[in-house]
Amino acid sequence: MSEIANEAIVVENLRKVYSSNGVEAVKNVSFSVHYGEIFGFLGPNGAGKSTTIKTIIGLLRPTDGKIYLDGVDVLKHPNRVRMVKGYSSQESSLDDRLTAYENIFLQGKFFHLSNEKIEKRSKEVLEMFGLWERRKDLIESYSGGMMKRLDIAEALIHRPKILFLDEPTLGLDIQTRHSIWNYIKKLREEHGMTIFLTTHYLEEADELCDRVGIIDNGKILALDKPGVLKSQIGGDLITMTFGNEKEKVNAFLEKLKTVKDVKSVNALDNNVYSLVAEKNGDQLIPKVFSVAEKEGISIESIRLKRPTLDDVYLTYTGKTIREAEGSREEAAQQRVTMRRIRR
């Protein structure tokens, strides 16, 4: 009970079977999201990310399970959480024949805000997302990145405590993606907002999320801080070469093994040696240098390789996330193009 009251989102044994085709999109999923946290679901197309979000925010009825938002049982009291949650869907859900301001004004009206409130707040959020100058332009003239920014800005008009972002950077180029990340970070830093996002970009989960759930086939396969997930499958790897004869090096390696946070030391081919760090490989490098100095070892080269979420993903799902994704990117891009040529 206390857990429910102290968490922004609590999901217990959530199951969703679509009645239209009998697909079990979400299979007995449980997790919770802390207040002020950026929490992410990482998974490929069809993993059940959108279905989970839509069920939590009330667009879909769960087949089974419990959902609490801000301590409220949403299935029992849907009306109490209406103003608590903001949602920006995977599609860019803007009316492209209206201006940005008209779009956000209507959104405000659909949340039953007064004209004064809408005027004040839309200025606030449009300025925050760098769109105030372009507010009178039709969405038709907006780029994909601007549309996404407006989408997120709209979702904030009623000042929700918890923001749901379904694939906020789908189909955007790298620079645009980085700029969206900065806006999302700003929301948390300046407004302490709780954010639940889904993504199939590993970099995005890594860069943004405090905790990540890896989801595939409607199940959470792993859930933790990105760093922990990475260290679980093996810590940071330091590879080195030396300018000394073998005996001296071996003695040095024995010494290295006693250093804190060193998990193991191994000889690879071609006189390359590797060191697996328990954690914080970057902080181990200076220690390696100081031991080397004492032992009279000259380090010729040293490199740090950290495992990526890619490696994590591969470990848990048995496939790389990119394998399934090519066609998806294209589809997203096609949708954007379709909007443009529709006229």
Partner 1 sequence: MKYLLEDTYYVALRELKKYFRQKTRLLMTLIQPFIWLTLMGNMMTGLTNNPIAANFLGTGNYLTFMTPGIILMTIMFTSIFSGMSIVWDRRIGYLDKLLAAPINRAAIPFGKMLSAAIQGVIQAGIIVVIAVILGVRFQTGILGILVIFIIAMMVAFILGGISLALAAKIKTIETLMAIVNMLTMPLMFASNALFPTNVMPSWLKAIVKINPITYAINPMRSLTVTGWSSSIIANILIIFAIDILVMLWTNWVFVNAVSE
* Binding partner of 122, given Mg ion, partner 1, ligand ADP, none, CB within 5-8 angstroms per partner class: none
Decide: is 168 part of the binding site for ligand ADP (CB under 6 A).
no
CA 217 – CA 288 distance, rounded (Å): 43
| Residue 88 in the binding site for Mg ion (CB under 5 A) | no
Q: Which does 25 bind (CB under 5 to 8 A by kind): partner 1, ligand ADP, Mg ion, none?
A: ligand ADP
- Give the 3-state secondary structure of residue 64: strand
325 binds ligand ADP (CB under 6 A): no
Residues in the chain: 343
- 3-class DSSP string for 25-46: EEEEEEEEEECCCEEEEECCCC
Q: Which of residues 27-86 bind Mg ion (CB under 5 A)?
A: 49-50
Which of 178, 335 has the CB closer to partner 1?
335
Contact between 89 and ligand ADP (CB under 6 A)? Answer: no
Nearer to ligand ADP, 24 or 311 (CB): 24
Q: Cβ closer to partner 1: 112 or 257? A: 112
**Coil vs helix vs strand at 48:** coil
Which residue intervals of the chain are DSSP H helices? 2-6, 49-56, 100-110, 115-128, 144-155, 174-191, 202-208, 226-232, 246-257, 281-295, 309-317, 326-341
> By C-alpha distance, which of 130, 135, 133, 121 is closest to 191?
121
- Which one of 1, 2, 20, 269 is in contact with ligand ADP (CB under 6 A)? 20
Contacting partner 1 (CB under 8 A), which of 3, 6, 30, 109?
A: 109
- Is 2 a binding residue for partner 1 by CB under 8 A? The answer is no
171 is a contact residue toward ligand ADP (CB under 6 A): no
User: How many helices (H) and strands (E) would you count in the chain?
Assistant: 12, 14
- Closest approach of Cβ 59 to partner 1, in Å? 6
Q: Tell me which of 98, 233, 272, 304 binds partner 1, using CB under 8 A.
A: 98
Instruction: Say which DSSP state 99 is in.
Output: B
Q: Which C-beta is closer to Mg ion: that of 44 or that of 226?
A: 44
CA separation for the pair 200, 210 (Å, rounded): 16
81 vs 214, which CB is nearer to partner 1? Answer: 81
CA distances from 16 to 67, 98, 164, 267 (A): 12, 35, 18, 50
Angle between the 281-295 and 246-257 helix axes, to the nearest 10 degrees? 130
Pick out residues in 218-237 that bind partner 1 (CB under 8 A): none
Which of the ranges 20-28, 112-120, 175-183, 294-302 carries the binding residues for ligand ADP, by CB under 6 A? Answer: 20-28
Please report, as ranges, the residues that interact with partner 1 according to CB under 8 A: 18-20, 54, 57-61, 79, 82-83, 85, 87, 89-98, 102, 106-107, 109-112, 154, 339
Please report, as ranges, the residues that interact with ligand ADP according to CB under 6 A: 18, 20-21, 23, 25, 43, 45-51
